[in-house]
A and B are shown apart, each in its own frame.
Chain A
C-alpha cells in the first residue's frame, strides 16, 4: 500500500491506496489517490514541505505529487528559532 502522511498538531493523518488497484482502475483506490493529491496540493500551498521515502534510501524532497511513491510525508514549515 502507498501512504501519504501529513504531520500536524493532532499527529499524523494518513491516506492509503493500492498502486495495483489504481492501475486497474478500482474506484475506491482512485478516490483515495485523488484525495491524497488534493491534500498534497493544499498543504504545499500553505508552505508545507513534502518528501518521498524509499526503503534504504535518503528522503527526497518533492514539489509535485508522485503517484509512483511508496510513502510521502508532508511536514509543516520550519523557521529559525
Chain B
C-alpha cells in the first residue's frame, strides 16, 4: 500500500517531535529551577557567612569593615606593613609605613560568600603570611615617572 509508508513516516516524525518537545520542556524546567535554587542558596550562604564573620572578628574589625570598606591586618613578617582586606571581592592592598606598596591578587579556588573570603584572607595573613605571599600575585603600584 503506497499510503501506508507515508502514514508510518508521519507517525514516526510525530513521535520524534513529541519526544524532542518533552525533552526541551524538561531541560528548560531543570535549568530554571536550578537557577532559582542557586540564587537562594547563595543568598542564604552570604547571610551565614556574615553572621560567622561577626562571631569571629572583634567589634573594632567589624566596624572598620562596615565603615571604611576594608579591614587592616598587620603583617607579622614585615614591621610597618599592613594589608587592607576589602569587604567586597577584590585585590588586597599592601601598605608599608602608610605608603601604598602594591596589590595582591589571591582568591579561593571555589566560590564562597564574600564575608568568608574576608575571613580567609585574615586567617592566611595572620597564620601563614609567607605561604599567602607565595601564592598571591603581586602588582606594583602605578607611579608615573
Would you call B108 and A75 a contact (CB within 8 A)? yes
Q: With contacts A7-B112, A8-B112, A78-B107 known, is A51 near B47, CB below 8 A?
A: no
A to B contact number (C-beta, < 8 Å): 86
The residue from A8, A11, A59, A80 contacting B123, defined by CB atoms under 8 A apart: A59
Contacts of B64-112 to chain A: CB distance below 8 A: 76, 105-112
B12 to chain A, nearest CB (A): 45
Q: With contacts A7-B120, A8-B112 known, is A80 near B137, CB below 8 A?
A: yes
Contacts of A1-28 to chain B: CB distance below 8 A: 5, 7-12
Q: Does A53 contact B (CB under 8 A)?
A: yes
Interface size class of chain B, counting residues whose CB lies under 8 Å from the partner chain: 20 to 34
A69 to chain B, nearest CB (A): 13
The residue from B110, B126, B136 contacting A59, defined by CB atoms under 8 A apart: B126
Would you call B137 and A73 a contact (CB within 8 A)? no
- Measured in the bound complex, the distance between the Cα atoms of B49 and A7 in whole Å is 8
Which B residues are in CB contact (< 8 Å) with A5?
52
- Interchain Cβ contacts under 8 Å between A and B, 20 examples: A7-B112, A7-B116, A10-B41, A11-B47, A11-B48, A11-B116, A12-B52, A12-B116, A49-B123, A49-B128, A59-B122, A59-B123, A61-B127, A75-B108, A75-B120, A76-B109, A76-B120, A78-B108, A80-B136, A81-B137
